[in-house]
Protein backbone atom coordinates (compact mmCIF):
# COMPACT_ATOMS: atom_id res chain seq x y z
CA UNK A 1 0.00 0.00 0.00
CA UNK A 2 2.81 2.33 0.91
CA UNK A 3 4.57 1.61 -2.42
CA UNK A 4 1.43 2.43 -4.46
CA UNK A 5 1.09 5.74 -2.67
CA UNK A 6 4.70 6.69 -3.49
CA UNK A 7 4.20 5.78 -7.17
CA UNK A 8 1.06 7.91 -7.34
CA UNK A 9 2.86 10.92 -5.86
CA UNK A 10 5.67 10.47 -8.39
CA UNK A 11 3.26 10.38 -11.35
CA UNK A 12 1.46 13.51 -10.15
CA UNK A 13 4.81 15.35 -9.84
CA UNK A 14 5.82 14.33 -13.36
CA UNK A 15 2.46 15.48 -14.78
CA UNK A 16 2.77 18.85 -13.01
CA UNK A 17 6.28 19.31 -14.38
CA UNK A 18 5.15 18.57 -17.96
CA UNK A 19 2.21 20.99 -17.74
CA UNK A 20 4.43 23.73 -16.28
CA UNK A 21 6.96 23.25 -19.07
CA UNK A 22 4.32 23.69 -21.80
CA UNK A 23 2.86 26.78 -20.12
CA UNK A 24 6.25 28.41 -19.76
CA UNK A 25 7.11 27.55 -23.38
CA UNK A 26 3.94 29.19 -24.70
CA UNK A 27 4.48 32.19 -22.46
CA UNK A 28 8.03 32.75 -23.70
CA UNK A 29 6.88 32.14 -27.27
CA UNK A 30 4.29 34.94 -26.93
CA UNK A 31 6.91 37.23 -25.44
CA UNK A 32 9.21 36.45 -28.34
CA UNK A 33 6.49 37.32 -30.88
CA UNK A 34 5.76 40.57 -29.06
CA UNK A 35 9.46 41.36 -29.04
CA UNK A 36 9.73 40.80 -32.79
CA UNK A 37 6.71 43.04 -33.41
CA UNK A 38 8.18 45.74 -31.17
CA UNK A 39 11.52 45.50 -32.95
CA UNK A 40 9.74 45.75 -36.29
CA UNK A 41 7.85 48.84 -35.13
CA UNK A 42 11.03 50.49 -33.87
CA UNK A 43 12.74 49.81 -37.20
CA UNK A 44 9.77 51.32 -39.07
CA UNK A 45 9.83 54.43 -36.90
CA UNK A 46 13.57 54.84 -37.44
CA UNK A 47 13.22 54.45 -41.20
CA UNK A 48 10.35 56.91 -41.25
CA UNK A 49 12.21 59.48 -39.15
CA UNK A 50 15.33 59.14 -41.29
CA UNK A 51 13.31 60.03 -44.39
CA UNK A 52 12.26 63.36 -42.86
CA UNK A 53 14.73 66.15 -42.03
CA UNK A 54 15.56 66.30 -38.34
CA UNK A 55 13.60 68.65 -36.05
CA UNK A 56 11.09 69.11 -38.87
CA UNK A 57 7.42 69.19 -37.87
CA UNK A 58 4.70 69.73 -40.45
CA UNK A 59 6.38 71.51 -43.37
CA UNK A 60 3.36 73.54 -44.43
CA UNK A 61 1.16 75.08 -41.74
CA UNK A 62 -2.38 76.06 -42.64
CA UNK A 63 -3.55 77.03 -39.14
CA UNK A 64 -3.58 80.82 -39.13
CA UNK A 65 -3.85 80.79 -35.33
CA UNK A 66 -0.28 79.54 -35.19
CA UNK A 67 1.97 82.01 -33.41
CA UNK A 68 4.29 83.29 -36.09
CA UNK A 69 7.07 83.87 -33.56
CA UNK A 70 7.18 80.11 -33.01
CA UNK A 71 8.18 79.49 -36.63
CA UNK A 72 11.79 78.48 -37.18
CA UNK A 73 14.18 80.74 -39.07
CA UNK A 74 15.23 79.48 -42.49
CA UNK A 75 18.59 77.80 -42.85
CA UNK A 76 21.53 79.69 -44.33
CA UNK A 77 21.36 77.60 -47.50
CA UNK A 78 17.68 78.33 -48.04
CA UNK A 79 18.14 82.03 -47.32
CA UNK A 80 20.90 82.19 -49.93
CA UNK A 81 18.43 80.75 -52.45
CA UNK A 82 15.79 83.32 -51.48
CA UNK A 83 18.37 86.10 -51.84
CA UNK A 84 19.36 84.75 -55.26
CA UNK A 85 15.73 84.73 -56.44
CA UNK A 86 15.17 88.27 -55.17
CA UNK A 87 18.37 89.59 -56.77
CA UNK A 88 17.36 88.11 -60.15
CA UNK A 89 14.02 89.98 -60.18
CA UNK A 90 14.00 93.21 -62.18
CA UNK A 91 11.91 95.34 -59.84
CA UNK A 92 12.24 98.58 -61.76
CA UNK A 93 12.32 97.84 -65.46
CA UNK A 94 12.48 101.00 -67.54
CA UNK A 95 10.28 103.66 -69.06
CA UNK A 96 11.00 104.34 -72.72
CA UNK A 97 9.40 107.35 -74.35
CA UNK A 98 7.69 106.72 -77.70
CA UNK A 99 7.32 108.86 -80.79
CA UNK A 100 3.96 110.61 -80.45
CA UNK A 101 3.63 111.30 -84.18
CA UNK A 102 4.23 107.67 -85.14
CA UNK A 103 1.66 106.55 -82.58
CA UNK A 104 -0.88 109.33 -83.13
CA UNK A 105 -3.54 106.81 -84.22
CA UNK A 106 -3.52 105.03 -80.86
CA UNK A 107 -3.40 108.31 -78.99
CA UNK A 108 -6.54 109.47 -80.80
CA UNK A 109 -8.38 106.24 -79.94
CA UNK A 110 -7.57 106.61 -76.24
CA UNK A 111 -8.52 110.29 -76.33
CA UNK A 112 -11.98 109.46 -77.70
CA UNK A 113 -12.56 107.10 -74.77
CA UNK A 114 -11.39 109.66 -72.24
CA UNK A 115 -13.69 112.31 -73.72
CA UNK A 116 -16.65 109.94 -73.60
CA UNK A 117 -16.98 109.82 -77.40
CA UNK A 118 -16.32 106.08 -77.57
CA UNK A 119 -17.03 103.14 -75.28
CA UNK A 120 -14.40 100.56 -74.40
CA UNK A 121 -14.26 96.84 -73.68
CA UNK A 122 -14.15 96.25 -69.95
CA UNK A 123 -12.24 93.02 -69.54
CA UNK A 124 -13.03 93.05 -65.83
CA UNK A 125 -16.77 92.82 -66.52
CA UNK A 126 -16.89 89.84 -68.87
CA UNK A 127 -16.03 91.77 -72.03
CA UNK A 128 -19.05 94.07 -71.75
CA UNK A 129 -18.84 97.55 -73.21
CA UNK A 130 -18.55 100.32 -70.65
CA UNK A 131 -18.88 104.05 -70.75
CA UNK A 132 -15.94 106.12 -69.67
CA UNK A 133 -15.75 106.68 -65.92
CA UNK A 134 -13.58 109.76 -66.17
CA UNK A 135 -14.78 113.33 -66.05
CA UNK A 136 -14.17 114.77 -69.55
CA UNK A 137 -14.49 118.28 -68.13
CA UNK A 138 -11.61 117.74 -65.71
CA UNK A 139 -9.11 115.74 -67.72
CA UNK A 140 -6.24 117.78 -66.32
CA UNK A 141 -6.73 116.37 -62.83
CA UNK A 142 -5.47 112.98 -64.03
CA UNK A 143 -1.91 111.89 -64.76
CA UNK A 144 -1.23 109.96 -67.98
CA UNK A 145 1.53 107.63 -69.14
CA UNK A 146 1.45 106.70 -72.83
CA UNK A 147 4.07 104.03 -73.63
CA UNK A 148 4.58 100.46 -74.81
CA UNK A 149 4.16 98.57 -71.56
CA UNK A 150 4.78 95.01 -72.78
CA UNK A 151 6.96 95.60 -75.85
CA UNK A 152 4.45 94.37 -78.45
CA UNK A 153 4.66 97.52 -80.58
CA UNK A 154 1.22 98.84 -79.52
CA UNK A 155 1.37 101.51 -76.80
CA UNK A 156 -0.79 101.28 -73.68
CA UNK A 157 -2.27 104.15 -71.70
CA UNK A 158 -2.10 104.38 -67.92
CA UNK A 159 -4.42 106.84 -66.22
CA UNK A 160 -3.58 107.76 -62.64
CA UNK A 161 -6.34 109.31 -60.57
CA UNK A 162 -7.23 110.20 -57.00
CA UNK A 163 -3.72 111.22 -55.89
CA UNK A 164 -2.15 108.33 -57.88
CA UNK A 165 -3.99 105.72 -55.84
CA UNK A 166 -5.94 104.27 -58.76
CA UNK A 167 -4.37 103.18 -62.04
CA UNK A 168 -6.45 102.32 -65.12
CA UNK A 169 -4.46 100.38 -67.73
CA UNK A 170 -5.87 100.62 -71.27
CA UNK A 171 -4.67 98.77 -74.35
CA UNK A 172 -5.78 98.83 -77.97
CA UNK A 173 -7.11 95.53 -79.30
CA UNK A 174 -6.05 95.31 -82.96
CA UNK A 175 -8.46 92.40 -83.56
CA UNK A 176 -11.61 94.25 -82.53
CA UNK A 177 -10.21 97.75 -83.14
CA UNK A 178 -11.47 98.74 -79.71
CA UNK A 179 -9.87 100.17 -76.61
CA UNK A 180 -9.81 97.62 -73.79
CA UNK A 181 -9.47 98.12 -70.04
CA UNK A 182 -6.80 95.57 -69.18
CA UNK A 183 -6.68 96.07 -65.44
CA UNK A 184 -7.55 98.44 -62.61
CA UNK A 185 -4.93 98.81 -59.93
CA UNK A 186 -6.70 99.91 -56.78
CA UNK A 187 -5.58 101.76 -53.66
CA UNK A 188 -2.23 100.55 -52.41
CA UNK A 189 -0.81 99.79 -55.86
CA UNK A 190 1.87 101.86 -57.55
CA UNK A 191 3.66 101.86 -60.88
CA UNK A 192 7.38 100.98 -60.96
CA UNK A 193 8.22 100.70 -64.66
CA UNK A 194 7.15 98.83 -67.79
CA UNK A 195 4.55 96.30 -66.61
CA UNK A 196 5.93 96.17 -63.08
CA UNK A 197 3.79 97.05 -60.08
CA UNK A 198 4.22 97.27 -56.35
CA UNK A 199 1.48 97.07 -53.75
CA UNK A 200 1.14 97.23 -50.00
CA UNK A 201 -1.52 95.92 -47.66
CA UNK A 202 -2.07 96.81 -44.04
CA UNK A 203 -4.24 95.09 -41.45
CA UNK A 204 -2.34 92.50 -39.46
CA UNK A 205 1.19 93.63 -40.12
CA UNK A 206 2.42 95.13 -43.37
CA UNK A 207 2.82 93.21 -46.63
CA UNK A 208 4.60 94.42 -49.76
CA UNK A 209 3.94 92.65 -53.04
CA UNK A 210 5.74 92.87 -56.36
CA UNK A 211 3.92 91.67 -59.48
CA UNK A 212 3.80 92.09 -63.25
CA UNK A 213 0.78 92.68 -65.50
CA UNK A 214 0.97 90.64 -68.70
CA UNK A 215 -0.48 91.47 -72.12
CA UNK A 216 -3.81 89.89 -71.12
CA UNK A 217 -4.11 91.97 -67.97
CA UNK A 218 -3.37 89.06 -65.64
CA UNK A 219 -1.24 89.69 -62.57
CA UNK A 220 1.78 87.49 -61.98
CA UNK A 221 2.95 87.83 -58.39
CA UNK A 222 6.69 87.37 -57.96
CA UNK A 223 7.51 87.91 -54.30
CA UNK A 224 6.04 89.13 -51.00
CA UNK A 225 7.65 90.77 -47.97
CA UNK A 226 5.80 90.72 -44.64
CA UNK A 227 6.52 92.22 -41.23
CA UNK A 228 4.32 91.98 -38.15
CA UNK A 229 4.61 93.11 -34.55
CA UNK A 230 3.86 90.93 -31.52
CA UNK A 231 4.33 90.87 -27.76
CA UNK A 232 7.38 88.79 -26.85
CA UNK A 233 6.35 86.26 -24.18
CA UNK A 234 9.87 86.18 -22.72
CA UNK A 235 10.91 89.83 -22.68
CA UNK A 236 7.33 91.14 -22.34
CA UNK A 237 8.24 93.81 -24.88
CA UNK A 238 7.08 94.60 -28.40
CA UNK A 239 8.95 92.62 -31.02
CA UNK A 240 8.57 91.91 -34.73
CA UNK A 241 8.68 88.97 -37.10
CA UNK A 242 9.88 89.16 -40.71
CA UNK A 243 8.97 86.84 -43.56
CA UNK A 244 9.45 86.42 -47.31
CA UNK A 245 6.81 84.67 -49.37
CA UNK A 246 5.97 83.36 -52.83
CA UNK A 247 2.68 82.59 -54.55
CA UNK A 248 1.75 78.91 -54.58
CA UNK A 249 1.59 78.79 -58.39
CA UNK A 250 4.57 81.02 -59.14
CA UNK A 251 7.77 80.00 -60.91
CA UNK A 252 9.74 81.33 -57.96
CA UNK A 253 8.35 78.82 -55.47
CA UNK A 254 9.21 75.98 -57.84
CA UNK A 255 12.82 77.19 -57.84
CA UNK A 256 13.32 76.58 -54.14
CA UNK A 257 10.52 74.18 -53.15
CA UNK A 258 12.70 71.07 -53.34
CA UNK A 259 15.46 72.80 -51.40
CA UNK A 260 13.00 73.86 -48.69
CA UNK A 261 11.86 70.25 -48.33
CA UNK A 262 15.43 69.00 -48.25
CA UNK A 263 16.33 71.45 -45.48
CA UNK A 264 13.10 70.81 -43.56
CA UNK A 265 11.97 74.43 -43.68
CA UNK A 266 8.69 75.55 -42.14
CA UNK A 267 6.27 77.41 -44.38
CA UNK A 268 2.98 78.98 -43.40
CA UNK A 269 0.22 79.27 -45.99
CA UNK A 270 -1.59 82.60 -45.77
CA UNK A 271 -4.23 82.98 -48.49
CA UNK A 272 -2.22 80.94 -50.99
CA UNK A 273 1.08 82.67 -50.22
CA UNK A 274 3.85 80.55 -48.72
CA UNK A 275 5.89 82.52 -46.18
CA UNK A 276 9.22 81.63 -44.54
CA UNK A 277 10.66 83.35 -41.52
CA UNK A 278 13.88 85.34 -41.88
CA UNK A 279 15.80 87.62 -39.54
CA UNK A 280 15.41 91.40 -39.69
CA UNK A 281 18.87 91.71 -41.19
CA UNK A 282 18.01 89.19 -43.92
CA UNK A 283 14.66 90.92 -44.51
CA UNK A 284 16.38 94.27 -45.01
CA UNK A 285 18.87 92.70 -47.40
CA UNK A 286 16.32 91.14 -49.77
CA UNK A 287 13.51 93.73 -49.59
CA UNK A 288 14.06 96.35 -52.31
CA UNK A 289 13.92 99.88 -50.90
CA UNK A 290 12.07 100.85 -54.06
CA UNK A 291 8.89 99.14 -52.83
CA UNK A 292 8.99 100.86 -49.45
CA UNK A 293 9.97 104.29 -50.76
CA UNK A 294 7.26 104.31 -53.42
CA UNK A 295 4.68 103.44 -50.78
CA UNK A 296 5.81 106.38 -48.64
CA UNK A 297 5.51 108.75 -51.61
CA UNK A 298 1.82 108.01 -52.16
CA UNK A 299 0.81 107.99 -48.48
Going residue by residue through the chain (299 aa), what tens digit of pLDDT does each one get? 544 445 445 444 544 444 444 444 444 344 443 333 322 332 222 222 233 334 444 555 655 566 777 888 999 988 998 999 899 999 987 777 788 899 999 999 999 998 888 888 888 776 555 555 667 677 888 889 999 998 888 999 999 876 656 888 999 999 999 999 988 887 788 888 889 999 998 888 899 999 999 888 888 888 999 999 988 888 888 999 999 999 877 777 776 677 777 778 888 888 888 899 999 999 999 998 877 766 555 45
- Cα–Cα separations (whole angstroms), residue 98 to 91, 104, 113: 22, 10, 20
Distance separating alpha carbons of residues 232 and 234, to the nearest angstrom: 5
Residue 239 near residue 231, CB atoms below 8 Å: yes
Q: Are strands 273-278 and 60-61 parallel, antiparallel or unpaired?
A: unpaired
Cα distance from N-terminal residue to C-terminal residue, the chain: 118
Domain ranges of the chain: 58-92+194-299, 94-191
pTM above 0.75, yes or no: no
- Runs of H (alpha helix) within 97-141: 104-114
How would you list the strands of the sheet with 156-161, edge to edge?
128-130, 120-122, 178-185, 166-173, 156-161, 143-147
For residue 226, give Cα distances in angstroms to 131, 189, 253, 299: 38, 16, 16, 18
DSSP string, 199-240: EEE-SSSEEEEEEEE-TTS-EEEEEEEEEEEEE-TTT-SEEE
Amino acid sequence: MKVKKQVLIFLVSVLFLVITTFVLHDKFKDKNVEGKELLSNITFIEEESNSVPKNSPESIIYNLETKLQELRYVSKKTYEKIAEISSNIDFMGNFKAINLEENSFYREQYLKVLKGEESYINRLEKEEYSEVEFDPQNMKKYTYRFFDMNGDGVPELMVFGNMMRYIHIFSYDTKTNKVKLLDLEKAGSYFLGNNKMGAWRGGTGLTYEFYEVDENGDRNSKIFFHSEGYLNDITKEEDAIYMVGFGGDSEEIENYESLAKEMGEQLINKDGIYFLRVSKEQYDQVTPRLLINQNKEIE
